[in-house]
Amino acid sequence: MTPRLAKAARMLAAASLLLAACHDDPGEEPVFPADYAASYVEVRDCRGSGDHDLNNIRILADKAALAPYQDRSAPFPVGAVVIKEEYDFGDMSCSGPIKQWTVMQRLPTGSAPTMLDWSWQRVDDQREVLERDPPRCIGCHTGCGVAPDGYEGTCAVP
Query: Which residues would be at the binding site for ligand HEC (CB under 6 A)?
Result: 49, 51-52, 57, 59, 82-84, 102-104, 120-122, 131, 134, 136-137, 140-141, 144, 154-156
Q: Are 56 and 87 in contact (CB under 8 A)?
A: yes
- Residue closer to ligand HEC by CB (options 94, 137) is 137
Q: Is the peptide bond before 148 cis (omega within 30 degrees of 0)?
A: yes
- Residue closer to ligand HEC by CB (options 68, 102) is 102
- Residue closer to ligand HEC by CB (options 7, 89) is 89
The amino acid at 47: R
- Residue 141 CB, shortest distance to ligand HEC, in Å, is 6
Burial of 103 (0-12, 13-18, 19+ CB in 10 A): buried
